[in-house]
């Protein structure tokens, strides 16, 4: 019975944490509830970096009812002085009797909360709904443990796997509902990446356009030979995130300087046959506390990320239409040999959603989301 109650209240904490997903970086999203005599007396979640943590908000919401209550929190309470004081101290001072933790904090700087609370005589239970709590913060956990961002590949394609016609025409493969969903995803990730081919063909803005003030991701371009045109619409975008270009080590210095004087961050990394070395790109993004990366194309970039085993998650938007042309642009050109179906790459934690059209001439789309790793970070 206690286990069932713990899971019930932890699920409420998880629900609260989701309210701020994509808004708390570089901090994780965290939810918390305070329970007394079987009833929730306080709720809270971490809203943004630098603001009070979930536990503090829940304690404030509970007021005097916090004394003797049980705290349910999705992530182990922090035990260090950062932008805010340690949550462990506030928990002790509030007189909380028991703490239930979804998952331990993987950050060695902030961890140790469980041991501190136990040393102050507070009973602590951990590992309740742990898998669901870990799902909340996959980008944060990967970044803390590897120093690299969590990589999401988004592809809009037809049922026969094409992303554009033989002439390169791709507007629009999917419907406006799908495109709005992509803008919302952009507002939740730290960076959006495309190759120079996409820039030259489409001049994409790479912004989150949601009809209101949106959080804008860093815009990343892979351009090994630094062909990025100064007159590109991508550069002249207003209210977009910073523009970063990753190029090879032997590019023209004057061209690099010209772009830098326009506010572009140009980073030189090692070259390889298929372009710049993606491992170095991810390492540099991680050094700047970018925890999540959305890869949006084109097909050569998709192939490189898949072939180097760098993809963590995919969002595949399938439009219910067929191009039927062998010369049309494939979503993911062949990137591995596969002789038996048992060797095919599988997706895990699958989520399927019908994206209904808003306009009469639009098709119905199907969004398939899944992770490429069976185990969570």
**Known binding positions:** 53, 78, 87, 156, 170, 172, 186, 198, 202, 206, 209, 224, 296, 298-304
Of 23, 21, 75, 15, the C-alpha closest to 40 is 15
d(CA 250, CA 3): 61
Based on the residue annotation, tell me whether 55 is a catalytic residue of this protein: yes
d(CA 217, CA 189): 6
Q: Dump the DSSP string for 212-262.
A: S--PPPEEEEE-TT----TT-TTTS-TTPPPEEEEE-TTS-HHHHHHHHHT
Query: Is the previous residue joined to 307 through a cis bond, with omega within 30 degrees of 0?
Result: no
How far is Cα 144 from Cα 131, in angstroms, rounded to an integer?
Answer: 17
What sign for the dihedral angle of Cα 223, 144, 217, 335? positive
Q: How far apart are CA 111 and CA 228, in angstroms?
A: 44
Q: Select which of 55, 65, 188, 313 is catalytic.
A: 55
Is residue 295 a contact partner of residue 153, using CB atoms and an 8 Å limit?
Answer: yes
Query: CB–CB of 187/215 below 8 Å?
Result: yes
Binding-site residues for Zn(2+), please?
Answer: 53, 78, 87
Annotated binding-site residue numbers for NADP(+) = 156, 172, 198, 202, 224, 298-304
Judge if the upstream peptide bond of residue 26 is cis by omega within 30 degrees of 0. yes
**Spacing of C-alpha 12 from chain mean position:** 22
Reference 13, options 42, 48, 36; nearest CA is 42
- 342, two tokens: 């048992």
Q: From the annotation, which residues make up the binding site for substrate?
A: 170, 186, 206, 209, 296
Known catalytic residues?
55
């Amino acid at each position: 019975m206690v286990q069932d109650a713990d899971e019930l209240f932890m699920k409420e904490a998880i629900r609260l944490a989701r309210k701020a997903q994509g808004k708390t970086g570089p901090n994780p999203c965290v939810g918390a509830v305070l329970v007394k005599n079987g009833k929730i007396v306080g709720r809270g979640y971490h809203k943004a970096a630098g603001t009070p943590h979930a536990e503090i908000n829940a304690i404030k919401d509970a007021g005097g009812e916090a004394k003797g209550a049980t705290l349910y929190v999705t992530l182990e309470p922090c035990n260090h002085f950062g932008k805010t004081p340690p949550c462990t101290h506030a928990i002790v001072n509030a007189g909380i009797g028991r703490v239930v933790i979804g998952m331990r904090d993987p950050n060695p700087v902030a961890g140790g909360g469980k041991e501190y609370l136990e040393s102050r005589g507070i009973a602590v239970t951990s590992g309740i709904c742990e898998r669901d709590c870990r799902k909340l913060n996959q980008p944060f956990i990967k970044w803390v443990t590897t120093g690299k961002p969590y990589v999401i590949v988004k592809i809009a394609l037809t049922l026969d796997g094409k992303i554009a016609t033989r002439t390169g025409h791709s507007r629009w493969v999917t419907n406006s509902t799908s495109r709005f969903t992509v803008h919302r995803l952009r507002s939740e990730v730290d960076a959006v990446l495309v190759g120079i081919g996409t820039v030259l063909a489409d001049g994409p803005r790479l912004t989150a356009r949601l009809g209101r003030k949106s959080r804008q991701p860093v815009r990343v371009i892979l351009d090994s030979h630094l062909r990025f045109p100064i007159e590109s619409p991508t550069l002249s975008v207003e209210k977009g995130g910073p523009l970063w270009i990753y190029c090879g080590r032997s590019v023209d210095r004057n061209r690099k300087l010209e772009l830098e004087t326009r506010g572009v961050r140009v980073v030189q990394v090692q070259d390889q046959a298929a372009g710049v070395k993606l491992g170095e790109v991810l390492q540099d993004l991680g050094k700047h506390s970018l925890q999540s990366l959305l890869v949006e194309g084109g097909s050569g970039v998709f192939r490189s990320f898949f072939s180097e085993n760098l993809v963590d998650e995919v969002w595949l938007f399938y439009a219910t239409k067929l191009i039927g042309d062998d010369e049309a642009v494939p979503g993911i050109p062949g990137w591995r040999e596969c002789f038996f179906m048992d060797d095919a790459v599988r997706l895990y934690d699958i989520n399927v959603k019908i994206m209904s059209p808003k306009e009469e001439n639009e098709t119905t789309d199907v969004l398939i989301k899944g992770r490429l790793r069976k185990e969570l970070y």
